[in-house]
Amino acid sequence: MIEVIVFAIFAVAAVAGAVTLVASRNSVHSAVGLLVTMFSMAVFYVLNGAHFVAVVQVLIYAGAVMTLFLFVIMLIGVDRSEEREERIPFQRPLVMVLGSGLLVLILLAGRAVWVIRGGRSGVAVGTIEEISDRLFGTWMLPFESTVLLLTIAAVGTVALARYGGRSRHAEFSGGDDDEPEAGD
């Protein structure tokens, strides 16, 4: 019974955060909405026995990723208001219809295949020992691949920061832009 109450509270919080993310005009409000949703996710992970994943969720998503998002929002400017006029007519009602249709389709498809077993067995508690046993055993090769992926991402980000903004300096120093910009 207590699980139902906790689920209800944090489900409402998660959906409210998601709606805030989509509906808010201010980017910072959107980021805070996503933060609320991510904390609620961590609670759901704990309820499902995924303790280590919950810790990682709070550390990586609510901590690192959201800090990065807020940092970039501050860098780009929070006071820029997004213009709301639509270029495609009927875009907003169309999105509502498509989103609702997607939800109905997922729920209909899920009803057929969702594993509803009723009670919890409690055998799959994701402690650090259990997770690391699987991670460094069965999942060793995918784990090594993520190391490669993260290295490539870091190198790519550094390369973007080094060479991506070159034309800006060229514009500021006199305007001989060696890379023609598409579209202008």
Partner 1 sequence: MEVTGGWYMALGAVLFSIGAAGLLLRRNALVMFMSIELMLNAVNLSFVAAGNELGSLDGQLAVLFVMVVAAAEVTVGLAIIVMVFRRRATASVDELSGMGG
Q: Are 51 and 131 in contact (CB under 8 A)?
A: no
CB of 95 to partner 1, least distance (A): 5
> What span, in angstroms and rounded, lies between the C-alpha atoms of 17 and 19?
5
Strands (E) across the chain are located at: none
Q: Are 35 and 5 in contact (CB under 8 A)?
A: no
CB of 79 to partner 1, least distance (A): 13
CB of 139 to partner 1, least distance (A): 5
Select 121 or 175, whichever has its Cβ closest to partner 1: 121
CB of 144 to partner 1, least distance (A): 12
User: DSSP assignment, residue 25?
Assistant: S
Residue 86, phi-psi category: left (phi > 0), alpha (psi -120 to 50), beta (remainder): beta
User: DSSP assignment, residue 180?
Assistant: P
CB of 167 to partner 1, least distance (A): 6
Q: Are 46 and 54 in contact (CB under 8 A)?
A: yes
Select 1 or 178, whichever has its Cβ closest to partner 1: 1
User: DSSP assignment, residue 134?
Assistant: H
Dihedral sign (CA 101, 57, 34, 159): negative
Select 30 or 178, whichever has its Cβ closest to partner 1: 30
